[in-house]
Amino acid sequence: MNLDTLPCELVSRCFSFLDTELLTRIVLLENIPDHIFQAVAANLNHSWYSKHIQPFENGKIAGIEAHYETDFDRFRRIHKILEKKSYKCPLWFHCAWENVFQMHQNLHEINLVHNDQKLGIHADLADPVFRYYPILSDHSLNYKVTCISLNSFIDSCIDLDNFPRLETFYGYDCQITVEHTHPCLKNLYLNRVTLSSLPANLITLVANACCLRISEDHPKLQALTVLVLEKTQEPINCLPLLRKLWNNDLETFSYIGQEASNIDEVLPMIGPKVKSFGFSGPLFFRIPTSLRSLYAFEGGKLEDLSAFTHMSSLTLDSPSGFIDHWILPPNLIKLSITSACIENLDRFHLPPAVVDLELKSCGIYSTAGWLKPSRFKRLSLEDNGISSFNTSLPCCEFLCLSSNTLKEVHLEAPVLEHIDLSDNSLTSIPKLPSRIQVLIFSNNKLDLSQMSELPSNVKHLDLLGAGTGAFQDYTFPSTIQELHLTEIDLTGMSGVKFAKGSKLKSLNLSSSRLSTIHDGMIELPTSLESLDLFGNNLTEINKLTLPQTITFLDLGHNKLRSLNIKSHIETLYLNENSTLSSLEIPKDSELRVLDLIGVGLGQLPLDIIRAEKLTQLRLGPEVNVIDLSMMPANFRTLQVSALCEIRGLHSHPDKEIYRSPEEVFVCQTHKSNC
């Protein structure tokens, strides 16, 4: 077939079947015909930049499957090539902000790439200061960002009116405010979020376990086509709110209440345009067979679904009775079943087109004779009782077998990229396909002293609590970018190295019983940027060579007595080192963030003045007085106990204090987030 003779729309559709990784490789080729380049660019909408490899589930933002670039220069080069040929694909960034400095650092990177295209930013917020410090700060990107996704580990609050071009917001564990008059906001995906008003032009509202304090006089949402209310925390009786938000043009409608569903009231709300429906309770026999997607929570016995010929996606949570004999929709592509009873897998027949299958907590003990070679691209059999897995999955890219009783795995899966084998009883890493990039092997029964060979292309390796024994003269492959060796006993570790040309960026050795660490135990590669030694028993680290590339160092919860900070460290956590009595900071220090909560220092070290680039400092209750006039000129954020006396405020008129019962934050003057 000659692509030159085909219409552009058809060529573009051909390339829609390629994954994003392959599309980015094509973009970087030279002398690509214009119509081919146009087709590739039209499908390159899910390329993200992240400093870290994202495990599959973490890499999905509201169901969007993302491809992650971890090489910023490559990511930037791809978009420069697209711009040169007058194409602008959306920019997506996945960030983890443990402190304010990391946020500003990421915003700078984003500005280097952004050129007026649509911009999406996902951020995991871990610093308590984000309760008060403005998300995205007062950065010019506030006026450019079109999509924001926030996963908050603290009670943060954000005013969406600060982002006038914002079209879509994903919020997790936070509070938001937004006016009815927001000019662009059309999509809200919320999980454990509190809010009291909604933009008038809203098209999508997905709310799970939220507090929706919507007043009775709130304007009607005439444009709404997607309405999902699940397990709303407030109000407890959500039916009045449902009546207010509902309209006859809904295409997606899901209502799963805390109270028993009022069937007679909910059923008439399934309007003529609804193609996706979610419900709880015995509604099944009264819903239309024209649905394309169905989510049923405790939905009773759905024994015969053969009439649902248009349905491509089915999600069942806690159905009643045995489901072995159920007749499923004939054209299903995606099937997810949780907490069901399957008595005999041989009687459980899957529709032939299913490529995405999840059977979680279904009491499955064996897949022998049932899980035959298939077209699965994604397969999850999490939390069952499977002890042996021996199968061929020629098309599978993602496989989750976590929380079973696995003792052996024999697998033929030539295109598999992600496998989760955590929480099993495996004594060795099985022979796995070479294409695997993400291997999660936490909480197993490995003998680490007899570590077997790893897949040659693995990038992310998680061995948290993976076994006993210690690594002996083991060399990790050069492809690994992130390595987690946490919650295992590394006291006897010896001769650990990384292959020549190592790409390792992040190494986590936290909570691994280390009382000493030196080059004879592990030789750190020159590519390393982040080292986590949190929660050990270290008294010093002077015998461990830290490459100049390391900028993040976590030494929290150890027993350090003194520390000479290397000049290249930008973020240093020393919290809960109660024996620390001496801290030296060089004059040429790159230090930006310093955590001294719970250290043995009776007063603030004068050496901090030398850290001219310091922007954020955390202090505990052991520091009773701090003089801001002593702080470096670039200083931005201070966390101290509520009882600490703060002096020198007159010398910093641009500082504003936020007080809470537990702590005080001193930040640059700005509008409060909420």
- Asked if residue 567 and residue 449 are part of one domain, the reply reads no
Whole-angstrom Cα distance, residue 458 to residue 616?
A: 35
Whole-angstrom Cα distance, residue 616 to residue 598?
A: 16
Judge contact between 413 and 394, C-beta under 8 A: yes
Give a yes or no: residue 264 inside a domain.
Answer: no
Domain final residue pick, 209, 229, 249: 229
β-bridge mates for residue 91, sequence order: 119
Element at 121 (helix H, strand E): strand 119-125
Q: What is the pLDDT of residue 97?
A: 92
- Asked if residue 436 and residue 579 are part of one domain, the reply reads no
Evaluate if residue 108 carries a pLDDT over 50.
Answer: yes
Give a yes or no: residue 98 inside a domain.
Answer: yes
Evaluate if residue 572 carries a pLDDT over 90.
Answer: yes
Q: What is the pLDDT of residue 510?
A: 98
CA dihedral 33, 34, 35, 40 (to 10 degrees): 90
Element at 48 (helix H, strand E): strand 47-50
Evaluate if residue 497 carries a pLDDT over 60.
Answer: yes
Range of the domain at 572: 555-674
- Asked if residue 566 and residue 421 are part of one domain, the reply reads no
- Asked if residue 146 and residue 43 are part of one domain, the reply reads yes
Give a yes or no: residue 505 inside a domain.
Answer: no
CATH number assigned to the domain comprising residue 453:
3.80.10.10
Domain final residue pick, 428, 445, 469: 469
- DSSP string computed for 55-115: PTTTTEETTEE-EEE--HHHHHHHHHHHHHTT--PPEEEEEEESSHHHHHHHHHHHHHH-S
Domain final residue pick, 229, 248, 281: 229
β-bridge mates for residue 187, sequence order: 168, 204
- Asked if residue 162 and residue 52 are part of one domain, the reply reads yes
Q: What is the pLDDT of residue 659?
A: 45
Q: Which residue has the higher pLDDT, 643 or 454?
A: 454
Give a yes or no: residue 291 inside a domain.
Answer: no
- Asked if residue 561 and residue 459 are part of one domain, the reply reads no
* Exposure on the CB side of residue 567, measured as CA atoms within 13 A: 6
Give a yes or no: residue 510 inside a domain.
Answer: no
Most confident range, picked from 105-119, 348-362, 508-522: 508-522
pLDDT tens string 229-243? 988 887 777 778 888
The whole-chain average pLDDT of the chain stands at 86
Whole-angstrom Cα distance, residue 245 to residue 408?
A: 52
**Contacts of residue 464, Cβ cutoff 8 Å, sequence gap at least 6:** 442, 443, 484, 485, 486, 487, 488
Count CB-CB contacts under 10 A for residue 68: 22
- Asked if residue 139 and residue 31 are part of one domain, the reply reads yes
Judge contact between 445 and 421, C-beta under 8 A: no
Q: pLDDT > 70: what percent of the chain?
A: 89
- Asked if residue 199 and residue 51 are part of one domain, the reply reads yes
Judge contact between 400 and 379, C-beta under 8 A: yes
Evaluate if residue 214 carries a pLDDT over 60.
Answer: yes
Cis peptide leading into 90, omega within 30 of 0? no
* H-assigned helices in 351-439: none
- Asked if residue 668 and residue 561 are part of one domain, the reply reads yes
Among 337, 288, 291, smallest CA distance to 312 is for 291
Element at 20 (helix H, strand E): helix 20-27
> How many domains does the chain divide into?
3
Q: At which residue do the structure tokens 């509604």 appear? A: 283
Give a yes or no: residue 305 inside a domain.
Answer: no
Give long-range contacts, CB 8 A cutoff, 24+ apart: 7-12. 8/35, 8/38, 8/39, 11/35, 11/36, 11/38, 11/39, 12/38, 12/39, 12/42, 12/43
- Asked if residue 223 and residue 98 are part of one domain, the reply reads yes
Q: Give the pLDDT band (50/70/90) at residue 608.
A: confident
Among 240, 169, 250, 251, smallest CA distance to 207 is for 169
Among 51, 38, 49, smallest CA distance to 11 is for 38
Q: What is the pLDDT of residue 60?
A: 41
Q: What is the pLDDT of residue 7?
A: 65
pLDDT tens string 274-331? 999 998 877 666 788 999 999 988 876 677 899 999 999 999 999 888 888 889 999 9
Rounded to 5°, angle at Cα 249 from 118 and 279: 95
The overall pTM is greater than 0.85: yes
Query: Which residue type is seen at 224?
Result: L
As given in the structure block, the two tokens for residue 252 are: 């997606």
Give a yes or no: residue 386 inside a domain.
Answer: yes
Strand, helix or coil at 609?
A: helix
Name which of 45-54, 480-489, 604-613 the model is least confident about.
45-54
pLDDT tens string 422-474? 999 999 999 999 999 999 999 999 999 988 889 999 999 999 999 999 999 99
Give a yes or no: residue 194 inside a domain.
Answer: yes
| Average confidence (pLDDT) over 372-385 | 89
- Asked if residue 167 and residue 55 are part of one domain, the reply reads yes
Strands 187-195 and 211-212: parallel
- Asked if residue 149 and residue 54 are part of one domain, the reply reads yes
Evaluate if residue 134 carries a pLDDT over 70.
Answer: yes
Judge contact between 560 and 579, C-beta under 8 A: yes
As given in the structure block, the two tokens for residue 53 are: 């490899």
Judge contact between 106 and 92, C-beta under 8 A: no
Sign, Cα dihedral of 547, 553, 558, 564: positive
User: Phi and psi (nearest 5°) for 647?
Assistant: -110, 165
Among 590, 584, 547, smallest CA distance to 568 is for 590
β-bridge mates for residue 172, sequence order: 151, 191
Q: At which residue do the structure tokens 């009776």 appear? A: 602
Whole-angstrom Cα distance, residue 62 to residue 46?
A: 13
Q: What is the pLDDT of residue 404?
A: 98
